[in-house]
Amino acid sequence: MINLEVPRKFKPLVRQAQEVAGEVLRPISRKYDRAEHDRPVELDMLAAVIDGMNEGNSEVGGTGATGVRRDAAANDGVNRNGTNLSTALSIAELCWGDVGMLLAMPRQGLGNSAIASVANDEQLKRFKGRWAAMAITEPGCGSDSANIRTTARLDGDHYVLNGEKIYVTSGDRADLVVVWATLDKSLGRSAIKSFVVEKGTPGFELARLEHKLGIRASDTAAFILKDCRVPKENLLGDPDIQPEKSFAGVMQTFDNTRPLVAAMAVGLTRACIEEMERILKECGVVPDYNRPLHRQPSAVAELVTMKADYEAARLLTMQAAWMADNTQPNSLQASLAKAKAGRTCVNVALKCVELAGSIGYTETALLEKWSRDAKILDIFEGTQQIQQLIIARRLLGKSSAELK
């Protein structure tokens, strides 16, 4: 049975992540928000430390957004708290420090989670220790990833990729990019596969870096693929097109990464609430939990409501990660966590800016930055609307063709 307290064996990990967030990430948060596209060099040494932690304890994992993998042998009725849960917990702490910094952490990209989800043992060994970004979105294909138009054609020992990818997080700095492409447009979603493209591959060109509202410490790239030849050994998962399960295998990536994005939102939400509590305390406004809310200042009622939403988002996130550790299907729970945490983060950040007044709107505090960072957590890895659609399909037992 699930226990939503932080497991004892993960408490040192959480404490280390808290120290990193408070001592390393938070102090340079504003610096790299202003210096968009500058690489946070302070993270290089931190990434090396995280790599060492991953090597030293594979069960617990490091403090970054490392790739997580379901253990098929874990389906034996034994309760396991593994790398999915530990990674979610550490990500929440690091995003209390800074969301963009987490995304800019070397070798900790969301593409690593994609590789961990569906790669075979040979690919896991070959790509180990390398930083992987993930390229799904296209100019004509955003939240509906089944509508991908980038093509992959088998030519001898290589696949030839053609298309355009946009909004690739860490695309410029990463070593590898996991590119989603279709083997046959006429077959729809079942023909979509993911390919690991190494930087420097001919035909894989960086088109531009985006200027963004938030998470400015992290680069966001656009790529053009023109007759880009990728070894067929770099295709992740089954190369055959199997309509009954092909796209589901690719989509399993989201079942792993959506709880991680939810954890990012949980960490940022807590940062906003704690800062708001500090500001209210300085003004002499402190919640009294022994009195009804209608007999306290309205700011207290707002604060308590935000805390309730935060706790719901946190528990949903832990549940989705725990289910992945225990090989339980978690597509519904991953979308529930992502939808609740993303929306809560945006609402809480904006409400804190509102309650703080001029303090929340200026650069004298981090609330205005957090309100800008928060919005992406409700967008990437599937927008709020897409999550609600997935949830409705799961609850009603409808297919994507039956409920659009």
DSSP string, 105-164: STT--HHHHHHHHH--HHHHHHSTT--EEEE--BTTBSS-GGG---EEEEETTEEEEEEE
Per-residue pLDDT at 241: 81
Two structure tokens written together for 25: 């990430």
CATH number of 246-396: 1.20.140.10
Give 253's DSSP letter. Answer: H
pLDDT at 242: 73
Fill in the DSSP letter of residue 382. S
Can you tell me the distance from the alpha carbon of 272 to that of 368, in angstroms, rounded to the nearest whole number? 10
| pTM score | 0.91
Weakly modelled stretches of the chain, pLDDT under 70: 1, 49-77, 143, 243-251
What is the pLDDT at residue 65?
Answer: 46
- Sequence spans of domains, the chain: 8-126, 132-236, 246-396
Q: What is the pLDDT of residue 32?
A: 97
**How much is the pLDDT for 104?**
94
Q: Report strand pairing: 192-198 vs 176-182.
A: antiparallel
- 3 state SS of 286: coil
* Residue whose tokens read 């093509």: 151
Q: What pLDDT, on the 0 to 100 scale, is given for residue 59?
A: 40
Tell me the average pLDDT of the chain.
89
Closest residue by Cα to residue 239 from 193, 196, 197, 181: 193
The one catalytic residue in 19, 198, 381, 402 is: 381
- Domain covering 132-236, topology: Butyryl-CoA Dehydrogenase, subunit A; domain 2 (2.40.110)
The answer to whether 37 and 376 are in contact (CB under 8 A) is: no
Which pLDDT score, from 0 to 100, does residue 62 have? 38
d(CA 342, CA 378): 4
Residues in the chain: 404
Domain 8-126, classified CATH 1.10.540.10, yes or no: yes
Using one digit for the tens of pLDDT, what is the confidence trace for 68-106? 555 545 556 678 888 889 999 999 999 999 999 999 998
Contact yes or no for 102/108 (Cβ under 8 A): yes
Read off the tokens for 56.
């030293």
- C-alpha span between 296 and 285 (Å, rounded): 9
Residue 340 amino acid letter: K
- Rounded CA gap, 238 and 140, in Å? 26
Tell me if domain 8-126 and domain 246-396 are identical in fold: no
Q: Is 363 a catalytic residue?
A: no
Question: What amino acid occupies position 102?
Answer: L
